[in-house]
Structure 1
């Protein structure tokens, strides 16, 4: 279960769960940090007495791809599945120090710290010792001894108590509006919210509001408050909720090509014929173009959501995937799993041929 709540009420919510279910039936989830490729190399250098400047230089030779450092194994031996070749400069530099490579490889991925999951909590039907075990985080807070994967396997209810700072702001704003007489307290938080701020009460077609979104004139627009989000809102200039939702999805996607998905969306939105011509150049017939347009017209040919990808693959006129096959495709993309993507790509062509 996922719950969004005020950040400043998190401890109260956790205590309310313990009061309701019992102190020994509620546990926060433990997380374990591991040595990454750079920290493993630094640790090995420190242990061998290698100069800190030299150690720092060696870590700069570890490539970064899509915001993630390559593993030391990939750096030293390559990884054909990911089309990665050994990093010769790093290999040569490390081999100057006998034993450094072997030590660093053994340190990488070792657990080096424990902490509390930012939002995850388990609720047990009985005393937690029947399903899990308790230890304490460095702060002293009780947490599970098992990680989330093993804890999930052993069952019981997991709740994500996600805290959203925007909800704090809505509540603070609401309190001030009530205090100054712009809103009237209706006896409970729910009733007051429903009276004034429920989605059914809001106006969605105010041009001035949408102009403020595109002009970055809203001081803290939910989901668009980062430099990437602000840039995306400015580029897309949404004029309705659907376009805002599409922009929110597009800004999370990265492309290996020259043009990012959000830029392609804007290009197609302003020049729809480019997308149509692109499909023709790929050899799609008029009938096939219409099938694709059924799915992607409202996003101008840029499939921005996991649901969109699933529906495309499940269309019997395309590849006719089952729900489970389409979900595998979705997971492969979301988790960037090259092995799954290759397997599902083969299946896509196989089933597409069967469907004619």
Structure 2
């Protein structure tokens, strides 16, 4: 059988492997329709408050463009990376913040459900009216999510039909119905996360607005630049698909960041070259193989002790292999368990499999060739 892998934004490791093994790589530099009009790209620097006189996170340019689209019976797609209404709930009097009691990470406000929800384990609780530590009612919700964007746009454009597409739409029927309403032109403003980043082909879509293009770059992982580039290039690709003029409004705190610039230009060749250089410098895939070992226990002390013991054993048996950790996992506590991890690098994948085979039968998990290290 012949396997065809197709993507406008292939993974750097996969493209490198294809090139290295002389697999045929077919580029399609020309568009299928020669009459397609390339969208106009507008970048808004979020560090400059002059561009946000009407709203704190929706730029004047974006709001004016939405208004023009409504007058011309055109659609606008607003893209953001996070779910929920706000990502942090805290007390301005004493500094208390709402953390999941099982995972110790900030809980996300879902105002439409009047609940704080942990996006790791699903734990939920009612939104507090007073601080549980000091009793103050000075509780604030910070951060931007699709639900907050939807609420703000409804205030600004009460006459518009607004719909949200994100991971909180759990019913397949609801999602399919929304897609049909979109295609038929019954929705004026679409707000979405990764659900809408690719695959949509809407004839009336005139503008894509990206709320904070650099949001994903803050994550401590070697794939953050790649993920940011992919999402930017894919969501911008929702416009410029016919012979009608379209536009893109990109809001970012880092307008000069190379990944942001390359993503806006949909310049995969440039991104691939720079990302490959960064991976080579940091010794990450495709130049090595990775193995992630995770130690999971009910108590933190036990997790640390067992992780350190196993790491010492591995370093003794494999002195020519690179080990990192043990260290707390990115999500250190999940569902009342503590997680510590060891990351192993090697140019010999068989050696990593041999290491994985030595894991204790319980309290350990492994991930060979992990998609990320979070």
Q: Which has the higher strand share?
A: 2
Structure (1 or 2) with the larger CA radius of gyration: 1
Q: Which structure is higher in RCO with an 8 Å CA cutoff and minimum separation 6?
A: 2
| TM-score, length basis structure 2 | 0.28
| TM-score, length basis structure 1 | 0.29
